[in-house]
């Protein structure tokens, strides 16, 4: 069996990679486990030096990596370079912060000495998606290795070149060869990998379907999981929002990665008094997004990652229109080989339409008119998802209250679009998953939080 890479721009096979056999996977796991036993004894100073080197390797080769992403999954090359820069940032962040984040915490008890110690767990499996093929992986690898763990990666089957390139980043940086390895296998092999006693925990970023499958298998084996799943982020636009600035922020968020981002804005919940102006400005700005070859510097909308994903998105749009959504822009599949979907805007979106209830993973905006703030918050929370949310208002105190107390999501922003930042915890609630990546929460997820008590 082989993993075939199909360029979404041309619909042509550009590379094939042989899948690893179960014996090869077993051998890699054993090698990573052996390396881990030595790695966990290394100093933070040693790990810090290598992680800074990884950041240097990323920056030195960012054009190469950005080109690879464009060819494998259609990411505009400008976005690819930015992604690699962010990867370098997270490496530098954990290089500098890990030792302090994992230092023992003294707890006053009746003991002569008692404290919490954060110890590595062992070999961690990462099951990762294609949409941010470098960032999703490296935001896992950097804290995992700095905590003294080993790591193995099962990447999405359409980005094996990126998976191998990431492995190469850490080899070039001087990390031990077997402390982080890529497993070139399909999804059907994941259960067997989780069953292997060497694997101590699993992190997955992906769909709800994949999350449930991995969580069920890991639960059978009593292994820890971290899940970052889908999102249908609501952006609440109130009566006193600066509509011009708000629209620019909303369009930028919706079009991240050609619309293929779990934390991209998906549902725009707009009070009636702002609706007409919001629609006009939103459509105007979406029209100005240039779609085309992702290797061109002036292109901001590349093809969707796969043709089947593009076709599923189109079906969701058409079903929403059939149920009464008002089409303001787009929704016509281009007549070419690429997996393109045009910037699309729907309004009058209501419950039981796909654009209301489901995640639209592409450049499609769903505008939901509401009467007032109370209804806006109710609609924002009327979702199975709870990854990110945003509120726009000129009253920052009101915005802070809504973000803190009212919106049901793992990350809530005021007058800004939802984004991940190494300094802040990232993750969702409800069907968007559980656990947290990034910040000190992220590095502690895969440690043994150990109590030490000395009489």
Q: Catalytic residue numbers?
A: 228, 262
Q: How many CB atoms lie within 10 A of CB 112?
A: 8
CA geometry: angle at 144 spanning 70 and 86, to 5°?
A: 35
| CA atoms of 299 and 72, how far apart (whole Å) | 17
From first CA to last CA, the distance across the chain in angstroms is 59
* 298 burial type by CB count under 10 A (0-12 exposed, 13-18 middle, 19+ buried): exposed
3, 184 Cβ separation under 8 angstroms? yes
| CA atoms of 122 and 20, how far apart (whole Å) | 23
CA geometry: angle at 298 spanning 296 and 304, to 5°?
A: 65
Tell me the two tokens of residue 234: 């609501």
b/e per residue 310-345 (b: at least 16 CB within 10 A): bebbbebbeebbeeebebbbbbeeeeeebbbbbbbb
Computed on alpha carbons and rounded to an integer, the radius of gyration of the chain in Å comes to 23
Crossing angle for the helix pair 44-60 and 135-146, to the nearest 10 degrees: 160
| CA atoms of 211 and 228, how far apart (whole Å) | 8
3-class DSSP state of 254:
helix
Instruction: Please name the helix (run of DSSP H) or strand (run of DSSP E) that holds residue 440, with its range, or none.
Output: helix 439-444
Tell me the two tokens of residue 305: 């990652």
| CA atoms of 262 and 41, how far apart (whole Å) | 37
Backbone angles phi, psi at 292, to 5 degrees: 170, -155
Q: How many CB atoms lie within 10 A of CB 219?
A: 12
Q: What are the helix (H) ranges across 74-185?
A: 77-101, 135-146, 160-172
| Cα separations in angstroms, 197 against 203, 205, 221 | 16, 22, 9
């Amino acid at each position: 069996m082989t993993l075939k890479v199909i360029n979404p721009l041309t619909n042509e096979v550009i590379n094939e990679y042989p899948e690893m056999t179960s014996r090869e996977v077993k051998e890699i796991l054993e090698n990573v486990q052996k390396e881990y036993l030595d790695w966990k004894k290394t100093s933070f100073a040693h790990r810090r030096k290598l992680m800074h080197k990884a950041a240097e390797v990323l920056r030195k080769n960012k054009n190469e990596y950005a080109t690879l992403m464009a060819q494998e999954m259609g990411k505009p090359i400008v976005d690819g370079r930015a992604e690699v820069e962010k990867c370098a940032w997270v490496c530098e962040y954990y290089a500098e912060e890990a030792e302090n984040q994992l230092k023992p915490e003294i707890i006053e008890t009746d003991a002569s000495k008692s404290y919490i110690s954060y110890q590595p767990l062992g070999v961690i499996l990462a099951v990762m998606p294609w949409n941010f093929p470098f960032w999703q992986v490296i935001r896992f690898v950097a804290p995992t290795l700095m905590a003294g763990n080993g790591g193995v990666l099962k990447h999405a089957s359409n980005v094996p070149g990126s998976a191998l390139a990431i492995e190469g980043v850490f080899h070039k940086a001087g990390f031990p060869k077997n402390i982080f390895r890529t497993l070139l296998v399909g999804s059907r092999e994941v259960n067997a990998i989780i069953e292997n006693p060497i694997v101590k925990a699993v992190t997955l970023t992906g769909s709800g379907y994949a999350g449930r499958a991995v969580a069920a298998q890991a639960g059978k084996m009593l292994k820890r999981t971290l899940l970052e799943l889908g999102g249908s982020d609501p952006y609440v636009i109130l009566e006193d929002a600066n509509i011009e600035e708000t629209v620019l922020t909303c369009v930028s968020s919706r079009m991240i990665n050609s619309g293929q981002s779990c934390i991209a804005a998906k549902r725009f919940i707009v009070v009636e008094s702002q609706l007409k102006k919001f629609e006009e400005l939103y459509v105007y700005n979406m029209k100005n997004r240039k779609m085309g070859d992702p290797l061109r510097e002036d292109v901001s909308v590349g093809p969707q990652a796969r043709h089947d994903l593009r076709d599923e998105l189109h079906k969701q749009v058409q079903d929403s229109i059939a149920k009464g959504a008002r089409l303001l822009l787009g929704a016509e599949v281009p007549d070419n080989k690429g997996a393109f979907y045009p910037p699309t805007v729907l309004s009058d979106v209501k419950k039981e339409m796909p654009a209301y209830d489901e995640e639209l993973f592409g450049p499609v905006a769903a505008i939901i008119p509401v009467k007032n703030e109370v209804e806006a918050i109710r609609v924002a929370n009327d979702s199975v998802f709870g990854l990110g949310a945003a509120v726009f208002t000129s009253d920052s105190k009101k915005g802070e209250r809504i973000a803190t107390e009212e919106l049901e999501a793992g990350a809530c922003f005021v007058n800004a679009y939802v984004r991940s930042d190494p300094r802040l915890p990232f993750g969702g609630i409800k069907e968007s998953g559980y656990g947290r990546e990034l910040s000190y929460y992220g590095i502690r997820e895969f440690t043994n939080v150990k109590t030490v008590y000395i009489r």
